Amino acid sequence: MFDHLKETIRAYQARDPAARSALEIYLLYPGVKAVLRYRRAHWCWTHGMKFLGRAISQHARRVTGIEIHPGAAIGRRLVIDHGMGVVIGETAEIGDDVLIYQGVTLGGTGKDHGKRHPTIGSNVLIGAGAKVLGPFTVGDNSRIAANAVVLSEIPPNSTAVGVPARVVRLAGERTDYAGRVDQISVSDPVSQELCALRGRILRLEQTAAREEEAVTATKEK
């Protein structure tokens, strides 16, 4: 547990420019508190003390605003920045070195039993307000843009944006997305398509106007 704590604090120091000291991170950061309580709740859950595990997780939710089901499987060095409104479901799986911002939901799409929450690979960034819903995988080194709604599998080394989310960048080689927190340089594919349609309509209208002018000129002659 102590090794996990040290690793987590170092991860916050590396990724949060506002972090000033290890003591501040340990005492004041809700993401750290939530993960530490999750570790205890998960131990209880996996050792048959499910009620106690849920009780710990619900107390953590009231204290931090972050709800992590004790049945979830979370890797090392998870960073939850700010954290308010984060929800991680029972069958969710999260790899190592993942960065999650506030308002993120790792949820299901219905009342199915069994695996119903997503699997998040290692070194993944999930932007503020993003919703990842369903029992599929988000590949290693991928990035989910803020407010995206992900409903299907995301390949490794990808960037996904939009509602529903679409892959707009697929790297041919490994890229350290979780280390780059720039979320404003990606374009929205839906917006791009709308702009393309608008341009096509404008061209068609101009062509129709020229043809009409030609017909009018011919009649006048």
**Tokens representing residue 186 in the block:** 């990606």
Cα Rg of the chain (Å, integer):
23
Asked which of 101-105, 125-129, 153-157, 170-174 is least confident by mean pLDDT, the reply is 170-174
Are 58 and 94 part of one and the same domain?
yes
pTM of this prediction exceeds 0.85:
no
* Average pLDDT of the segment spanning 16-43: 91
Residues 202 and 125 occupy one common structural domain: no
Residues 192, 85 share a domain: no
Together in a domain, 158 and 210: no
Q: Do both 36 and 111 map to the same domain?
A: yes
Q: Among residues of the chain, what percentage have pLDDT more than 90?
A: 57
CA 3/CA 11 separation, integer angstroms: 12
pLDDT score for 15: 87
Residue 111 has pLDDT above 80, yes or no: no
| Number of domains, the chain | 2
Q: What is the pLDDT of residue 210?
A: 83
Residues 197 and 129 in one domain: no
The answer on 162 and 123 residing in a single domain is yes
pLDDT at 172: 45
pLDDT tens for residues 112-155?
Answer: 778 999 999 999 999 999 999 999 999 999 999 999 999 999 99
pLDDT score, position 177 = 45
If one compares 173 and 191, the residue with the highest pLDDT of the two is 191
Region of residue 34 (phi > 0: left; psi between -120 and 50: alpha; otherwise: beta): alpha
Does residue 214 surpass a pLDDT of 70? yes
**Which is higher by pLDDT, 15 or 215?**
15
Task: Examine the domain organization and report whether 211 and 165 are in the same domain.
Answer: no
- Cis amide bond preceding 30, omega within 30: no
Confidence of residue 181 (pLDDT cuts 50, 70, 90): very low
Q: Which of 193, 177, 196 is nearest to 185 (CA)?
A: 177
Whose CA is closest to 164, among 134, 190, 183, 139? 190
Confidence at residue 1, expressed as pLDDT on a 0 to 100 scale: 65
* 176 & 206 share domain: no
Please report, for the domain that includes residue 116, its CATH number.
2.160.10.10
The DSSP H or E segment spanning 59 is helix 50-64
Residues 90, 63 contacting (CB under 8 angstroms): no
The reply to whether 121 and 220 lie within a common domain is: no
| Same-domain pairing of 146 and 175 | yes
Structural domain of 203: 188-221
29 plus 116 within the same structural domain: yes
